């Protein structure tokens, strides 16, 4: 088993141990006949080889839709477990695997990369990055996956390194530091390769970072460009970090505290993978919360480019357009959801659209060439805004102190990937319904590397004293009821914004979605059920309990003529196929 060293980690391992590791590794590297080689051309045409899963979201359009049809509504009842890979690491496992010509590459907590036989689950090698003990990540030691180009894999780490690995052996090729861990920069997203560059974004919004997206040379790791999601003085958008009003106080202990340099630690993290339109040469990324999260009074203005989508020139990083979903965000409504790109024929022409179910509870349709707002409709209960104006700007209606706000802090949806099926013409999203939070902000002074939330929030339950929905973690037993919130898979029509069907769950769901050309939808939930729905009607066709929370996005692939579907539940990566 390959265990590659992080040579910069504190306390280098003895040389003799390194030699021993290398000796053990050699017999298990990938043989030349199965060595991966993924050209940029293959990435551009990933949809044409559905036997593989070549990017985090399947293709650059991020539809999470597969053309495979071997598993269909008539035989899905015959699904059975084919193999299991069990990680030795504890905690929610949020990774999306890649599959390249029969080899699966998956990350496991905190920053391991594992190469598996996609047919049998046999491990070829494991690369282990020794994460710095000084790293800080807001919401767990998560890593959501790798990217590939040629025979090189790319992974971002919790301590803000970007690492390139030999996909055949797991040995590192280069490693560069992307952000300062002393200031709590981190990376949990899967990188995105475009042409000869690998793109990443940084997390740390709860620690007052200044967010950015950066592109690196795939061969050397040299930084090519960097776009800051918080504009500095003289840059477009900086004017939205307005001066403090005369009535404010400069004392952090005062209820009227205002920070005159709020932009320096204004947040705008980027912790999910973007999308790419090769024809426009634009790459699209969602940005997270402003800092501090819940006390907007100390950062006057709209606070660009937080809670937004930015469209960047993939070659230069130049901003071409932006759209802000939640100006002056006071609810931690990160807009890091995956941008889903579709081409919609209408009136004899094709319109390039971006579909976005936002954490703030609204479903948006944008023109992805220009950023023009086309439509927006709530897909869950919303009371923080009464609606959207003609430009898509929310008409905000902040609730009185002590009153609940819908959706709650975790949002109407969050980081879990949606799906779009060109066959049904529907957009699918995992949603949290009837879930609210009582928000409250308190002044907080920025200190490097320290929590910078500024919140005094409370969970809301319609029955006083009754348990509410656990937000990020849950135990093995439900102690709450559906009145405090529940999960659902919702199918939306992008043409009208209307709901076409809904599949309700008892618990909320952190599972991503997958659709196929046989009109199946695969999903999971925190109850441990892995489920297959009819993508046209929402009817449940098959389910099984995997015994652990499903908090990743399922994928499908094919090896030797057999279609597999892979999902992660608890500490197990499980591959299903049709019964022999």
Residue labelled with tokens 């500490």: 571
Q: Distances in Å between the alpha carbon of 200 and those of 147, 179, 186, 456?
A: 10, 11, 11, 32
DSSP 446: -
Residue 217 in contact with residue 224, Cβ under 8 Å? yes
Contacts of residue 127, defined as CB under 8 A and 6 or more positions apart, other chains included, come to 2, 3, 4, 112, 113, 114, 165, 170, 171, 172
Q: Which two tokens stand for residue 255?
A: 């209820």
What's the CA gap between 131 and 8, in Å, rounded? 10
Helix, strand or coil, per DSSP, at residue 422:
coil
CA dist 195 and 192 (Å) reads 10
Our answer to whether residue 332 is catalytic in this structure is yes
Residue 36 tokens read as 């991966």
- Burial of residue 74 (CB within 10 Å: 0-12, 13-18, 19+) is exposed
Locus of tokens 């979903």: 325
Q: Strand, helix or coil at 312?
A: strand
Catalytic residue among 6, 159, 302, 332: 332
* N-to-C CA span, the chain: 31
Q: How far apart are CA 160 and CA 135, in angstroms?
A: 8
Tokens 């929590």 found at: 451
Neighbours of 369 (CB within 10 A): 17
Pairing state between β 3-4 and 123-128: parallel
Return the DSSP state at 406: S
Give me the active site residues, please: 332
């Amino acid at each position: 088993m390959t265990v590659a060293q992080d040579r910069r980690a504190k306390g280098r391992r003895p040389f003799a141990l390194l030699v021993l590791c290398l000796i053990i590794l050699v017999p298990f590297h990938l043989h030349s006949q199965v060595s991966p080689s993924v050209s940029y051309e293959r990435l551009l045409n990933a949809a044409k080889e559905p036997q593989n899963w070549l990017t985090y979201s399947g293709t650059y359009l991020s539809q999470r839709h597969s053309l495979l049809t071997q598993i269909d509504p008539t035989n899905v009842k015959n699904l059975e477990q084919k193999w299991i890979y069990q990680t030795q690491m504890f905690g929610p496992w949020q990774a999306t695997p890649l599959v390249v010509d029969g080899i699966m590459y998956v990350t496991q907590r905190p920053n391991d990369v594992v190469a598996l036989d996609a047919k049998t689950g046999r491990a070829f090698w494991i690369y282990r990055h020794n994460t710095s003990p000084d790293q800080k990540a807001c919401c767990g030691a998560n890593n959501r996956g790798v990217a590939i180009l040629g025979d090189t894999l790319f992974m971002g780490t919790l301590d803000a390194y970007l690492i390139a690995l030999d996909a055949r052996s797991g040995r590192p090729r280069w490693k560069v530091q992307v952000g300062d861990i002393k200031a709590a920069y981190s990376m949990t997203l899967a990188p995105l390769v475009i042409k000869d560059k690998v793109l990443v974004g940084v997390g740390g919004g709860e620690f007052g970072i200044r967010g950015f997206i950066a592109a690196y040379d795939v061969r050397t790791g040299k930084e090519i460009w960097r776009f800051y999601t918080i504009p500095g003085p003289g840059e477009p958008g900086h004017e939205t970090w307005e001066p403090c009003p005369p009535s404010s106080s400069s004392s952090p202990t005062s209820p009227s505290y205002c920070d005159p340099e709020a932009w320096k630690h204004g947040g705008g993290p980027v912790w999910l993978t973007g999308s790419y339109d090769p024809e426009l040469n634009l790459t699209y990324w969602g940005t997270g919360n402003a800092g501090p999260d819940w006390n907007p009074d100390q950062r006057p203005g709209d606070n660009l480019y937080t809670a937004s989508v930015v469209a960047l020139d993939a070659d230069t990083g130049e901003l071409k357009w932006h759209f802000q979903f939640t100006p002056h965000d006071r609810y931690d409504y990160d807009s890091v959801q995956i941008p889903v790109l579709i081409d919609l024929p209408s009136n004899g022409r094709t319109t390039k659209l971006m579909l976005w179910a936002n954490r703030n509870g609204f479903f948006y349709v944008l023109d992805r060439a220009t950023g023009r707002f086309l439509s927006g409709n709530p897909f869950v209960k919303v009371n923080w805004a009464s609606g959207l104006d003609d430009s898509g700007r929310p008409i905000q209606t902040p609730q009185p102190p002590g009153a609940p706000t819908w959706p709650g802090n975790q949002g109407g949806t969050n980081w879990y990937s949606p799906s779009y099926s060109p066959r049904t013409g529907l957009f699918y999203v995992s949603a949290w319904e009837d879930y609210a939070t009582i928000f409250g902000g308190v002044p907080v002074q920025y200190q490097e590397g320290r929590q910078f939330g500024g919140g005094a929030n409370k969970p809301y339950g319609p029955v006083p004293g009754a348990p509410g929905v656990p937000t990020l973690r849950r135990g093995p037993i439900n102690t709450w009821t559906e009145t405090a919130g529940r999960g659902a898979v919702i199918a939306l029509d992008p043409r009208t914004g209307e709901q076409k069907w809904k599949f309700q769950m008892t618990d909320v769901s952190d599972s991503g979605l997958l659709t196929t050309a046989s009109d199946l939808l695969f999903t999971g939930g925190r109850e441990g059920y892995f489920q297959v729905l009819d993508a046209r009607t929402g009817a449940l066709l098959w389910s099984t309990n995997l015994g652990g929370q499903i908090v990743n996005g399922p994928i499908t692939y094919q090896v030797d003529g057999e279609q597999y579907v892979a999902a992660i539940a608890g500490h197990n990566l499980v591959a299903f196929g049709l019964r022999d």
